[in-house]
Chains A and B, each alone.
Chain A
């Protein structure tokens, strides 16, 4: 099995998303595509998978020229994709989602329910998923929804499996299961190609790595010839600046900003913690361990059942709403930038100033100019390019959207930022700038609590990490104790320790 691309290109109007790509993917090898957002790797997968029609070039499947009109057409030729955004139907059951569009049929009009259940049991055991086939997908965690999507792809018996950021929503355990499946597919001779921003994952899982930059393929080779640094340099076109955490690991005691005691609500049970001025506190834990709920409770977005709140050493009632938390300087950055973050049809500047229009308005009137000026001030702090402020935010890359949302948070003059997966699905450049911006905030005396599924990121950025398991904080790591392996082990609770 092999897929050969020759001179593949894609234009959107005047923009070249992809240009003159020649690439061969061979069966029995795992191929990783890396690059910054907008570099063309997702477009490349989309073209192979029938989602995007190329403007130039040819695709050959086992030496035979093919043109796919739709994802369904590609799937019928054994080319199956897992998309970056979830493509499950929340209101339908897991079982029906897995076989949607490829139902085992009894007659032309009806499906074969028994065959479906047998096939489900097989595919679920293959990936080690313990998900009830009859529950609605919308009731699952994002990680489990991603597993449903992976099962759907597997059940189509792919000859070519294309995965765009398949692990972004997965916790460590599910990631391992997926790596196992990828290895299995490889051994069966399936062509496996995936896009990932996680370079450790790329280096660990793939046999070949291709690097994209500005719509062109700028390097390709077996993965043992690449290193984290050489990948970074190839992606950004120059050597990366080292020393992220650098100078600021100052151990001197700081003033307590917020203290929370006996907090319970949703999945969170009896959590106590404090955040000091000038500190970045990481929250580690598996998907579903209560990390996001913890942030949402503190942000006033969800009511706790119990909990005591002490700000600047003064006891106060728990903030009753997001507004009241914001009045105390506590600002929340959502993990779901599309659904809960951006107003896609408004300009980036309007998006940035949205949370705090008071100082933007003069006598109640908001002018385009003052919006721009205020957005510019906030945007600069996160390295957001001034020239893009008047672009609709929906047209920006994920990384730039995320930077704009962080600028929105900064525009609110926060004392404590609650950031949920602040770098999910963004490219390395943006990730770097976001990490740097958070560090800047801490250096200037602000505080940050961040949730991340990428423990490398927590290890690099945080002064302190709280590890959650089943709604409780099971460990607190400081400075040199913050290690990826330690966090992974603790995330699994005592049961996970071997």
Chain B
């Protein structure tokens, strides 16, 4: 009898609804495959770092590393928020607009009030934008892909109106500190990114809320029947990514010394790329923050390599697009073998 029950817990190899049929011999292969998939971003990072060390003899120079990390901190913030949103089974395509809004509003406010209140208000505005997204998706029941594409257009238009379609020069002293300053030699931007990572990772892995994020993305209807507050969980994710996107925009704006309404046109795609390269499933319910973080480093190293090869941004764009397709195809192949 023990044998019967044991075979019942092996993995199914055909459909989700049918019987588990994986032979024991195959499960070993499968486990190796899963481990590779799990650590793929780290493996990729190791390979790319080796390539970069060979191609760029200044790769390990502290200045180069510091630049790499500083330049990608804003992206990391957005990607961390995006990871939660995608695990919860929704998308947020309005992050680019919120990102631009962050830079513009921070620059405008800092010209009027002190930096700290300016920063806090900007983050709150980002969170409010997230709340608008939550309203559209939850209460108006608009598909999140379309809904946030549309709210993104609205947010972006409002930002252009706000700054009269031109960059906002920041005049207050210390405006660049957030993006370019250092504390004990460590870039402020990096500190913010690491703090955001800590916050999101703690939320996702340490709390019941985090468990609910996975549940909602894994099967929203089932989660609802089980008593999970599905809408509240999604709303919290939208608010979080909104706040982080605004913060990211502030960092980039601070690095440029101005508020720029055209910022962030690529940030949604880049954040998306990083999340899927990190192996978070676009179907929801699966993913991990540390893998997104590794994927940010992958992208950063890749950009470094491209620069060392003297590739311009157009070629980089082609390469990036292809990498995203490869990552999503891998995700699809994996969920096919799991589910259908």
Contact = CB atoms under 8 A, between A and B. Distances in A.
Interface of A: 51, 70-72, 75, 81, 83, 86-92, 96, 100-103, 105, 109-111, 130-132, 135, 138-144, 152, 173, 266-268, 286-293, 296, 301-302, 335-336, 339-340, 420, 470, 492-493, 495-496
Contacts, number: 162
A291 B8 CA distance: 13
B21 A70 contact: no
A92 B214 contact: yes
Contacts of B217: 91
Contacts of A91: 214, 217-219, 281, 285-286
A75 B214 contact: no
How many of chain B's residues touch chain A, expressed as a range? 35 or more
Nearest to A135: B9
A88 B222 CA distance: 6
A51 B225 contact: yes
Nearest to B286: A91
A171 B23 CA distance: 21
Interface string B1-26: 11111111111111111111111000
9 contacts: A71-B225, A88-B219, A92-B218, A130-B9, A139-B20, A143-B8, A144-B9, A267-B23, A493-B4
A140 B18 CA distance: 10
A293 B14 contact: yes
A142 B211 CA distance: 23
Nearest to B207: A109
B215 interface: yes
Interface of B: 1-23, 206-209, 211, 214-215, 217-219, 221-229, 281, 285-286, 338-339
B160 to A, nearest CB: 40
Contacts of B215: 89, 92, 96, 100
Contact of B11 (A86, A139, A293): A139
Q: Which 10 A-B pairs have the closest CB atoms?
A: A72-B227, A101-B227, A266-B21, A267-B21, A89-B218, A87-B222, A91-B285, A336-B17, A91-B218, A139-B11
A286 B4 contact: yes
A86 B226 contact: no
Nearest to B11: A139
A100 B217 CA distance: 14
Contacts of B20: 139-141, 267, 288
A267 B218 contact: no
Given A92-B285, A141-B12, A144-B8, A86 B19 contact: no
Contacts of B338: 138-139
B218 A90 contact: yes
A291 to B, nearest CB: 7
A474 B17 CA distance: 24
A71 B227 contact: yes
Contacts of A109: 206-209
Nearest to A75: B227
Centre residue among A92, A96, A286, A339 by max chain B CB count within 10 A: A92
Contact of A87 (B8, B11, B219, B285): B219
B223 to A, nearest CB: 6
A71 B16 CA distance: 26
Contact of A495 (B1, B17, B208): B1
B8 A100 contact: no
A335 B9 contact: no
Contacts of A102: 227
A339 B223 CA distance: 19
B211 A292 contact: no
A100 B16 contact: no
A132 B12 CA distance: 15
